Chains A and B, each alone.
Chain A
Amino acid sequence: GAGVSQSPSNKVTEKGKDVELRCDPISGHTALYWYRQSLGQGLEFLIYFQGNSAPDKSGLPSDRFSAERTGGSVSTLTIQRTQQEDSAVYLCASSAGLAASYEQYFGPGTRLTVT
């Protein structure tokens, strides 16, 4: 079946502009996660959703970052007033539930470059 998809695959934007990154999880997966992978760094957790709800937003780096999920499916990560330090690969993952026994399946990522 189809895996997790993300769009766009690459995004180049100018400093100060807003960007939207999209994630389509595996059909039927109720849990969705956003991570960020910067050059030379490990994957950094940003936020998770159970259904359309994001109970804990403390992983978001600043108030310029926001995320939403609608219909228990597609999620959008929005970065306002982008800065150069936002340049990274943004990865989305989904799982059938929140328990650790449910594997997180990752999408291919969106590479964001802020110039």
Chain B
Amino acid sequence: EDQVTQSPEALRLQEGESSSLNCSYTVSGLRGLFWYRQDPGKGPEFLFTLYSAGEEKEKERLKATLTKKESFLHITAPKPEDSATYLCAVRGNSNSGYALNFGKGTSLLVTP
């Protein structure tokens, strides 16, 4: 069965203080690892898809990396508007291979 574990559960950063969020996973037949951002009261917003170990993708202050066992979301010089819950999900061979299997998320708070 696919498993996704995110750490830490919550993270508080000062504006400009860079850090990383971790997503550890076990999956049968990785078809993709996904990062989403979720603001309170809203649905998840797509950020990145990674398909194979060694792959990296960047968007503004965010950079996602992937190994065979985990993914990191690096946040460089965060701003208060980066405050949100960041969700990691994998897609493997379970659930017919089409569903996303999500972790519980990391709640990020960036203070001025």
Contacts and interface: CB of A to CB of B under 8 A. Distances in A.
B43 A4 contact: yes
B35 to A, nearest CB: 11
Interface stretch (A11-19, A64-72, A80-88, A96-104): A96-104
Which of A31, A33, A103, A108 counts the most chain B CB atoms within 10 A?
A103
A42 B51 contact: no
Contacts of B100: 33, 35, 43, 45, 104
Contacts, number: 63
Contacts of B103: 42
Contact of B99 (A41, A42, A48, A101): A48
* Interface of A (DSSP majority class): loop
A103 B105 CA distance: 19
Contacts of B91: 100
A38 to B, nearest CB: 11
B84 interface: no
Nearest to B45: A106
A109 interface: yes
B34 to A, nearest CB: 8
Contact of A101 (B36, B42, B49, B89): B49
> What are the 9 tightest A-B residue pairs by CB atom distance, in nearest-first order?
A106-B43, A45-B99, A100-B32, A43-B102, A42-B102, A100-B31, A42-B104, A56-B96, A103-B46
Interface of B: 4, 31-32, 34, 36, 41-46, 49, 51, 87, 89, 91, 95-96, 98-105
